[in-house]
Structure 1
């Protein structure tokens, strides 16, 4: 295991933390929270405010400098009251560096530093109208969050400072027994770097919960990207290579064994091939198998996830919340040409109101013959009532074969974070 190359300076975080802890003290917070909640209810609708401070540190072996960033992300939105089944929501989002900004934000030309993909930007995060006047049906049009299941195929990338949202129309219907059907059409993605990407992409998700031991989900995504070369601001993206058609089935459930013990299990399969104007020709599979137990609140799980490869192309999920998968060091945001097999174990629990996560990953190609590396992840989170939270997170990736794919190098990351949300 490598050690950090520079002293860890989190002075900015400590200044924010001391202020935040004073605000979150129960003697002070109770009356303040009630006053804020009342003040945010305006005109029959409601404002929302979400402020998140984060210090992030990245040490990547192939770069001469480490990355350090202090950032504050702010969201302010307003949900209108409902009128004849109609309501609307608008939300601003902005990310601002403070104290320290020694990192490559993907647009500040600090290429000697590792990437922390949180540029300073201000944007419209959500802007939608929803109609619920039809029986058990919602129709939403505009820039919105779209999340399917565990975020593996479509998610909002909530971990990054700027959220991923979609210009889309979605229709959700629950008129069939134990069934929720969501169908949509996406024409633009606003990603975590505030880049907008055009596409013409129908999607669907059908969830049935009437089974005795869990729920079964069918989903499909036909991602047809518009632009062959999109310049942003100095880099070029061949988005046509992301055009894929994917159809999958997922089963997810839990079965009580005793009052304090549950069996946990998940299985998923998906098939993918090139689509629309993608110049590549490939057909690849996705597999997930997961099992474990919840023993008196202590959760143990073992998991196997494989993204296959064909003709030098790996199974890809460009709209996923990728940080949630294959390790928090984010070494596999793009599936390697030889695919990836991730065998990992998870332990999580809550002690005295503190949520703890420990995860170990072993990464190989999709045949299991080439070992990419291993990673150990830790997260500690404490929530204070409804509105405040503190988090520490650490990821340590150790590469086994630096030549296995581009960027396969030892990487350490850690984060300190404080959040306030109303």
Structure 2
């Protein structure tokens, strides 16, 4: 962080301190990871990876009658990525994570503008992705309605790389990086449940060359569906159903679906869960239509196993996934718990040469403990028992090597200052 950036930050802090409600929060977390087959089958004749990443985030929030402003600054780095005695970081690790303003122009209506987290329901389609140190944000404008137990959000975004005088070509490419976005989200809550509806339209820049430099229009993908929660006696159910249509690419149509259902039972201090998720896929032997569902902008790390073999920057336009899982959360102390989760993975559509669709089984263990009021610790271990068929969707890598992942994380989230005037 340069001296100029620090000066600007503190100038903002002192200026904002004159408003009626002002609060400064910190979010500092460091995570050690040992990777031996994380995200992909571990290759032959290779050493495992080990590193420590850290996020240092400062959130500045103030409210004045109908106005709310949030500014969130962060530095995300890997221990050792900057030389000692260096004048500044050369890795562009410092950034603004959020910077938005919300104005309530009527008792039930507000407009929210700027860089912001968009997160709904179980975060399957829209989520903040807090597991990733950098998090996920959108540069967007929202029109928001809220009245008792009903809310409606209407979102709009239009992306450009810079200010310019001609054309609106968008050459910035990434995992489903959109040129434009429009969505409507409606949610109705009840005494013991809720139901929501989402319609999302995303536009992606088309290109006529392999290097993505010659533009040729925009293709649009629509995601439509619902999320719900309701109890039956002592069991709580939640699930979702989404359908994707439009264009997968400029030349290929898209028709895909996502179905999920989970049942949770909480006797005493233990939580038991059983569920399944189906994400449709495309036949590896060839298909004229893309049938592969992709969850787009959700917190995908929390679904389909913590080892991120599916839908975390991978598994797009692939054979889909059938995920059957069971989980239990045990209370191991006054302020500690142990999560145990097992996934059974299978391809949703046909693999090449009609291979067995069973992909593997993953075991996830996470121990969590609150050390102090604002300090918590997590320790995790995951193991992937991959089948021969897993290599067919993982670049042909062998499934004979051990695939496991271990991590330890410390999270400190104090309120540094809070004032009301």
What TM-score do you get using the length of structure 1 for normalisation? Answer: 0.75
Counterpart of 1:49 in structure 2 is 26
Contact 1:356 1:380 in 2 (8 A): yes
Cα deviation, 1:107-163, whole Å, max 9, x if unaligned, reads xxxxxxxxxxxx872211011111123112332100001001111001111101111
* 2:83 is equivalent to residue 96 of structure 1: no
CA 1:397–1:241 in structure 2 vs 1: closer, same or farther (change >3 Å)? farther
1:367 deviates by 5.1
CA 1:269–1:242 in structure 2 vs 1: closer, same or farther (change >3 Å)? farther
CA 1:351–1:160 in structure 2 vs 1: closer, same or farther (change >3 Å)? same
1:291 deviates by 1.6
- Distance in 2 between residues matched to 1:165 and 1:229, nearest whole Å: 29
Counterpart of 1:419 in structure 2 is 411
Q: CA RMSD in A?
A: 3.4
Structure 1 runs of 4+ off > 6 angstroms? 193-196
Contact 2:257 2:293 in 1 (8 A): yes
Contact 2:205 2:218 in 1 (8 A): no
Task: Name the stretch that deviates more: 277-286 or 319-328.
Answer: 277-286
CA 1:397–1:189 in structure 2 vs 1: closer, same or farther (change >3 Å)? farther
Residue among 352, 365, 372 paired with 2:359: 372
Secondary structure of the corresponding residue to residue 266 of structure 2: strand
1:188 deviates by 4.6
- Distance in 2 between residues matched to 1:227 and 1:278, nearest whole Å: 6
Task: Name the stretch that deviates more: 312-321 or 124-133.
Answer: 312-321
Residue among 365, 382, 394 paired with 1:406: 394
* 2:196 is equivalent to residue 217 of structure 1: yes
- Distance in 1 between residues matched to 2:270 and 2:374, nearest whole Å: 25
- Distance in 2 between residues matched to 1:276 and 1:169, nearest whole Å: 25
Contact 1:314 1:335 in 2 (8 A): no
Counterpart of 2:277 in structure 1 is 305
- Distance in 2 between residues matched to 1:264 and 1:156, nearest whole Å: 24
Counterpart of 1:322 in structure 2 is 300
Contact 1:241 1:280 in 2 (8 A): no
Contact 2:103 2:110 in 1 (8 A): yes
CA 1:346–1:278 in structure 2 vs 1: closer, same or farther (change >3 Å)? farther
Secondary structure of the corresponding residue to residue 308 of structure 2: coil
Contact 1:164 1:189 in 2 (8 A): no
Contact 2:206 2:219 in 1 (8 A): no
Secondary structure of the corresponding residue to residue 161 of structure 1: coil
CA 1:338–1:198 in structure 2 vs 1: closer, same or farther (change >3 Å)? closer
Residue among 43, 47, 56 paired with 1:74: 56
Cα deviation, 1:219-241, whole Å, max 9, x if unaligned, reads 1211112364999xx999x9x99
Cα deviation, 1:319-365, whole Å, max 9, x if unaligned, reads 11110110000000234622110000011133321022111000001
Residue among 128, 131, 140 paired with 1:159: 131
Relative contact order higher in (CA < 8 Å, ≥ 6 apart): 2
1:173 deviates by 1.2
* 2:225 is equivalent to residue 248 of structure 1: yes
Task: Name the stretch that deviates more: 399-408 or 128-137.
Answer: 399-408
Task: Name the stretch that deviates more: 303-312 or 51-60.
Answer: 303-312
* 2:322 is equivalent to residue 341 of structure 1: yes
Residue among 135, 140, 148 paired with 2:107: 135
Secondary structure of the corresponding residue to residue 162 of structure 1: coil
What TM-score do you get using the length of structure 2 for normalisation? Answer: 0.75
Secondary structure of the corresponding residue to residue 264 of structure 1: strand
Counterpart of 1:290 in structure 2 is 262
Secondary structure of the corresponding residue to residue 295 of structure 1: coil
CA 1:186–1:314 in structure 2 vs 1: closer, same or farther (change >3 Å)? same
Cα deviation, 1:77-110, whole Å, max 9, x if unaligned, reads 322341x512322111111222599xxxxxxxxx
CA 1:397–1:235 in structure 2 vs 1: closer, same or farther (change >3 Å)? farther
List gaps (5 residues or longer) in structure 1: 1-38, 102-118
